[in-house]
Amino acid sequence: MALTSNISSLDSFSAGFSNQTSFDYKLFRINAERVLERNKSIKILAFTAELQNSERQSIENRQRKIYSNFHVLEQDDHGNLVTAKTRPEYYPIYFTSSELNAKSVIGLDIGLSKAVKTALKSAEKTKQVNATLTSLKSDPQNKLFLGIAPLYHETTFTQKTNHNQASGFMLALFDLDN
């Protein structure tokens, strides 16, 4: 029941952004803090959007105005965060809100996880909240429950021009213990 309530909260949270003509960090933070106050089992709220390699340098530079060391990152075989290798597309974490250690995932390309990428694509296709179990390479036994809500609005975060595709995704990392 609590999980259903929190998935509904994620859906409501993301729906508020789908009607916006633009998306920014301040709007994200204000709304995220409200959701986190009411939903204690959500540990981190975050935003990601598909990033084409051709836009990577431009977006990294823009994001450094918010997070001074922003880079698209991936985990190496030992679980350390390193600069992501060149690929056609990425799904980096652009914004987070909540715990202090959330900043450690800023820039992390979550699209490298097959389970997460499948859930992102399914949420985009169905235009519904989706969820998946995942883990970090640094702690593969610790399963994380990630809620994913697609966003649709005309002004996208990157230069995406197909408005039938999601312009981004709100993410909620849930505490399975609660």
What does the DSSP assignment read for 75-112? E-TTS-EEEPPP-SEE-BEEEEEESGGGGGGTTBBGGG
**Res. 140: pLDDT tops 60:** no
pLDDT tens, position by position, 60-116: 999 998 888 999 999 888 878 899 999 999 999 998 886 545 557 899 999 998 888
pLDDT band, residue 170 (cuts 50/70/90): confident
- pLDDT above 70 covers a percentage of the chain that reads 70
Give residue 98's region: left, alpha or beta (phi > 0; psi -120 to 50): left
pTM of the full structure: 0.81
Q: Which residues contact 6 (CB under 8 A, 6 or more apart)?
A: 39, 41, 42, 147, 172, 174
pLDDT band, residue 9 (cuts 50/70/90): low
pLDDT attached to residue 1: 42
* Average pLDDT value over all residues in the chain: 77
